[in-house]
Amino acid sequence: MPVSRRTFLSGCVALPLSAQTSGFSVAEQSVGNGTLTTISDGHLTLPGSFVFDPMPRDELLPLLENAGISEKTLTPECNVSLYQDGQNTVLFDVGSGPDFQSSAGKLPDGLELAGIAPEDVTHVVFTHAHPDHIWGLLDEFDDPLFYDATYMIGRAEWDYWWNPETVNTIGEARAAMAVGAKRRLEAIEDTVEFFDGGQEILSGIQAVATPGHTPGHMSFEVRGGSDAAMIIGDAITNHHVAFMRPEWLSGSDQDAETAASTRTALFDRIVADNLKIAGFHLPGGGVGHVERNSEGYRFVPENS
C-alpha cells in the first residue's frame, strides 16, 4: 500500500533501530585557503511517492531503472556542510537531532570524530527549517547545542515559520514540521541574525535565494579567490531525477513549480561558473561537481 506524506511524517520517530547507520561519511575539498567538509547526520528513509508522485510515471520508471533507483523507497544521505577558513568555523544546518528518524541525528557523533567540539562552531547558518536541517538545534536540555555560535537565517524563511498561520496553511501532512520549526526558532529568537539573498553574510560567503523547496530556502556560494563552491541545501534534493529532469515537479517541494524553476537556474549557474557543490542529500558525502550529459546533468562525487 502506498505510504502517504502524513503516514511518513507521523511515523518518523518510530522507525526501527535496524535503520540506523553506524559510520560517518566525510567528504572534503579545498575552497581557496579554506576547507569545505561534509559530515554525516545519517540518512533518511522515505517513501518514493514522497518525491515521485507528481512526475510522469511512464517517463519516470525507465529513468529510475537505468539509475538503479527504487521507486518505492529512498534512503538519501544527510550531509551537513562545515566550512573552515582559519577564522570562522561555519556549520550549514544542524541535522535532525534525536526526534525525527532513528537513522538520522548523528551529527554530534560525526563532529566529535572529526575533532570539532560544539564550542568550536562560530556560526550556524540555515538553508531552511525542515526537520532534517533544524531539529538538531537543541540539546537534551532544550538549549542551543552550539552555544557559542552566532545563528543566521534568511529573513523570508524565518518569517514563514514564525508566522502563527503557517501551521494552519501548510497542510495537515506538514503541520508537525511547522510546530517543530517554531519551537526551535523560539530558542534563538533573541540572538538570531537575518540576511537576504545576494548578501555577503560572512567574508567569502554569499547568500543565494533558491526558493521553492521552502518559501525562503537559501543556498550559499563560498568563494576563495577564483575557487568557489555552492552549498545547495535542498534546492537540488537528489542525484537522479533532479539532475536528469530538473524541470519536473517534485513532491518533496512545498512550492513545486517555483522549486523547478529554481533548480533549472541553479544548474545553469553551477555549470556556467564551474562551481563545486555540496548537497545535503547527495551521495558519497554530497561533495562533487556537475557535468552535462545526454540525460541533462550528472552528479560526480569528489571521492568517485
Domain parsing of the chain, residue ranges: 24-301
- Which of residues 294 and 82 earns the better pLDDT score? 82
pLDDT at 7: 37
> How far is 207 from 160, CA to CA, in rounded Å?
18
Residue 89 has pLDDT above 70, yes or no: yes
CB-based contact 157:217 (threshold 8 Å):
yes
pLDDT at 1: 35
pLDDT at 74: 97
> How far is 132 from 94, CA to CA, in rounded Å?
8
CB-based contact 287:278 (threshold 8 Å):
yes
pLDDT at 295: 83
Residue 13 has pLDDT above 60, yes or no: no
Instruction: State the pLDDT confidence band at 5, using cuts at 50, 70 and 90.
Output: very low
Residue 129 has pLDDT above 50, yes or no: yes
The arithmetic mean of pLDDT across residues 276-300, rounded, is 95
Global confidence as pTM: 0.91
Model confidence over 47-65: pLDDT tens digits?
A: 999 999 999 999 999 999 9
Share of the chain above pLDDT 70, in %: 91
Length of the chain: 304
> How far is 298 from 279, CA to CA, in rounded Å?
13
3 state SS of 173: helix
Alpha helices in 114-239 (DSSP H): 131-134, 155-162, 166-169, 175-186
Identify the sign of the CA torsion 55, 101, 130, 69.
Answer: negative
Model confidence over 29-41: pLDDT tens digits?
A: 889 889 999 999 9
**C-alpha cell belonging to residue 262:** 529554481
Instruction: State the pLDDT confidence band at 24, using cuts at 50, 70 and 90.
Output: low
CB-based contact 173:130 (threshold 8 Å):
no
Give the CA distances from residue 115 to residues 39, 70, 125, 148, 273, in Å, rounded to whole numbers and listed in that order: 11, 36, 20, 17, 33
Assign domain 24-301 to its CATH superfamily. Ribonuclease Z/Hydroxyacylglutathione hydrolase-like (3.60.15.10)
Cβ atoms within 10 Å of 164's Cβ, excluding its own: 8
Closest CA to 257 of 266, 265, 247: 247
Those residues whose C-beta lies under 8 Å from the C-beta of residue 112, and which sit 6 or more positions away, are none
> How far is 230 from 299, CA to CA, in rounded Å?
13
Model confidence over 233-260: pLDDT tens digits?
A: 999 999 999 999 999 999 999 999 999 9
Dihedral class, residue 103 (left if φ above 0, else alpha if ψ from -120 to 50, else beta): alpha
> How far is 232 from 279, CA to CA, in rounded Å?
5
Partner residues linked to 47 by β-bridges? 73
pLDDT at 109: 94
Partner residues linked to 296 by β-bridges? 293
